[in-house]
Amino acid sequence: MLETQKLVKRYDRKLAVSSISFTVRPGEIFGLLGPNGAGKSTTINIITGLIRKDEGKVIIDGLDLDSNLTQCKYRMGIVPQDLAVYNDLTAEQNIRFFGSLYGMKGAELTQSVQETLQFVGLTERRRDKVKTFSGGMKRRLNIACGLVHRPKLLILDETTVGIDPQSRNHIMEAIMKLNAQGMTILYTTHYMEEAQQLCNRIAIMDMGQIIAQGTLPELRALVEEHWYITMTLKGEVPVEELRSVEGVAQIDVREHSWRFTLKQRKNQLRDLLDVLTHHHIEITDMAINEPDLEDIFLTLTGRSLRD
């Protein structure tokens, strides 16, 4: 459905994306995961034709983007990170306007507007102006405007940024429902839990490059020589001394828990516990975990997705 081949984009001397290649298969949710500034939105803007690439190729549904830009745009639904709705129009007017841009009219447009409003849960608010909506409702309307022309490929760029948990759950459920109906989705996010929940395959981006891609089991296999241990600790934790323990690759604090990445070695967990015991640190909980996407990113880059 979508293929990118060695995409390159430069701004003056800065390389924004470097040799980006991936394939999105029909009917899957493919995730682009990375921190803010990793190059995700630049990649999306190239794919959607909003900016010109310096090198590489984009193929959408078998069509070369450069020579078939209009046809490719009809095949895509785009939900940008920045809200693309008109505050002084109603929800229904917004969706109808975007449908008309794709050549829809008459009964076909009316039916699609009604179906899309129902899908995003805004039927009862269809005649209300968007300026009266919450942030989560505007995000849902943003999705509706990208869906109204019934695209083959839906591109969602940081769709859940800045909204409440209830609205986020509503959007996540909608995405899974769309995919169950056969929609192919390209999903960018810096929330690892969303990518882990939604995506069939994931490409991890950092500093304009894809550093790893595959299914979650395939990504976990890249760091299989490591242990990931979560502890809840009480006391003044000697962080620097813990970092100096042989085999401790990373230490990450998540809320009230400490996450240790250990290179597999026979005595390293014992050595870690010895340091904690020596400093009278109480361990109230401990678990050895499978690596999640945050762990994988941290292990591969040495930085947190939240940095």
Burial class (CB in 10 A: 0-12, 13-18, 19+), 140: buried
Rg (CA), the chain: 23
pLDDT in tens, 172-182: 898 999 999 99
Tokens of 115: 């179906």
120 and 136 share one domain: yes
Determine, yes or no, domain membership for 296. no
**Structural element, H or E, at residue 283:** strand 282-289
Residues 146 and 234 reside in one and the same domain: no
The span from the CA of 166 to the CA of 207, in Å, is: 32
Backbone angles phi, psi at 54, to 5 degrees: -90, -30
Closest to 186 in 3D by CA, of 142, 158, 155, 159: 155
- Tally of helices (H runs) and strands (E runs) in the chain: 11, 14
Domains in the chain, number: 2
User: Is residue 303 one of the residues assigned to a domain?
Assistant: no
Q: Is the domain of 145 the same as that of 70?
A: yes
Q: In this predicted model, which residue has the larger pLDDT, 269 or 133? A: 133
> Is residue 204, in this structure, part of any structural domain at all?
yes
d(CA 70, CA 72): 5
Tokens coding 21: 């290649």
Instruction: Select from 128, 143, 157 the least CA-distant residue to 95.
Output: 143
**CA-to-CA separations, 203 to 21, 62, 78, 109, 125, in angstroms, rounded:** 10, 21, 19, 36, 37
Q: Which domain, by its residues, includes 231?
A: 224-290
Instruction: Indicate if 12 and 40 belong to the same structural domain.
Output: yes
Is 188 inside a domain boundary? yes
208 in a domain, yes or no?
yes
User: Residue 34 and residue 296: Cα distance in Å, rounded?
Assistant: 11
Answer yes or no: do 50 and 194 share one domain. Answer: yes
Q: Tell whether 14 and 116 lie within a shared domain.
A: yes
To the question of pTM greater than 0.75 for the whole model, the response is yes
Query: Strands 153-157 and 282-289, how do they pair?
Result: unpaired
Stretch 15-33: mean pLDDT: 94
Give the pLDDT confidence of 98-155 residue by residue, as tens digits. Answer: 999 999 999 999 999 999 999 999 999 999 999 999 888 999 999 999 999 999 999 9
pLDDT band at residue 74 under the 50/70/90 scheme? very high
Q: Are residues 66 and 186 in the same domain?
A: yes
Does 297 reside within a domain? no
Which of 219, 250, 276 finishes a domain? 219
Same domain, 28 and 125: yes
* 301 lies in some domain: no
pLDDT tens digits for range 142-153: 999 999 999 999
- 23 and 168 co-located in one domain: yes
Q: Is 112 helix (H, G, I), strand (E, B) or coil?
A: helix
Same domain assignment for residues 177 and 237: no
